[in-house]
Amino acid sequence: MRIYFAFLLLFTFSFAFGQANYRISNYSLVINGTSNLHAWQSKANEVRGSGSIQADATGLKSIQSLSVEIPVKSIKSAKGSIMDNKTYDALNANNHPNISYKLEKVTSLNSKNSGFNLNASGYLTIAGSTKRMDLYVEGWIGGDGSITFKGAKKFKMSEFNIKPPTALMGTLTTGDEVEIVFQVSLKQ
């Protein structure tokens, strides 16, 4: 009886405030970079995450919490396993198997056309190094109630104490700057 009452109270509280728990249902995350020979691209084949979000049919109201995690060894390049292994080594995947982002706060949220844009601040952790990262994100609410966030962020690997990978006895060097391009949809 107590469990039923607690569940009913929790459901009523969540409904009254419109806050719900969401999980990633669909994603695309690409890492773009350069080298002294050519541009390169790697794709994350697994992205996990969840958040506590308040939204309704008129749009996004607030984000109380949001966290995203990418297993390093799910990142794959079209260039093949040599590039993948260089990436895993650079990111120290054996000791730090995940890249993570944890939202600190939404600094602005504005409705626009059929969606919204927001500025957020959070903490990005790569290869065991954590840095505060500001993001500009656009998004929309889908007809199925999903919430989609879309954005891109450039930063330098050296900001996270990552030495840009090299190959062919140092004759192939990657650039320090990378760009993460993402589109993530969450559903209740």
Which structural domain, as residue segments, surrounds residue 92? 18-187
Q: From CA 47, how far away is CA 99, in angstroms rounded?
A: 10
Task: Quick: pLDDT tens for 87-131.
Answer: 999 999 999 999 999 999 999 999 988 899 999 999 999 999 999
Per the domain annotation, does 170 fall within a domain?
Answer: yes
Q: Tell me the C-alpha to C-alpha distance, in Å, between residue 129 and each of 20, 111, 154, 163.
A: 31, 34, 17, 13
Contact 121, 136 (CB under 8 A): no
Per the domain annotation, does 59 fall within a domain?
Answer: yes
Per the domain annotation, does 1 fall within a domain?
Answer: no
Res 13: pLDDT: 40
Contact 119, 105 (CB under 8 A): no
Number of domains forming the structure of the chain: 1
Q: What tokens does 76 get?
A: 């794959």
Give the residue-averaged pLDDT of 51-57. Answer: 91
Q: From CA 46, how far away is CA 97, in angstroms rounded?
A: 12
User: In percent, how much of the chain has pLDDT > 90?
Assistant: 72
Per the domain annotation, does 111 fall within a domain?
Answer: yes
Per the domain annotation, does 4 fall within a domain?
Answer: no
Per the domain annotation, does 56 fall within a domain?
Answer: yes
Global pTM?
Answer: 0.85
Contact 122, 135 (CB under 8 A): yes
Give the residue-averaged pLDDT of 8-14. Answer: 40
Give the residue-averaged pLDDT of 52-60. Answer: 90
Q: From CA 157, how far away is CA 151, in angstroms rounded?
A: 19
Buried b (16+ CB within 10 A) or exposed e, 64-76: eebebbbebbbbe
Give the residue-averaged pLDDT of 36-41. Answer: 86
Per the domain annotation, does 3 fall within a domain?
Answer: no
- CATH number of the CATH domain containing 22: 2.40.128.110
Per the domain annotation, does 8 fall within a domain?
Answer: no
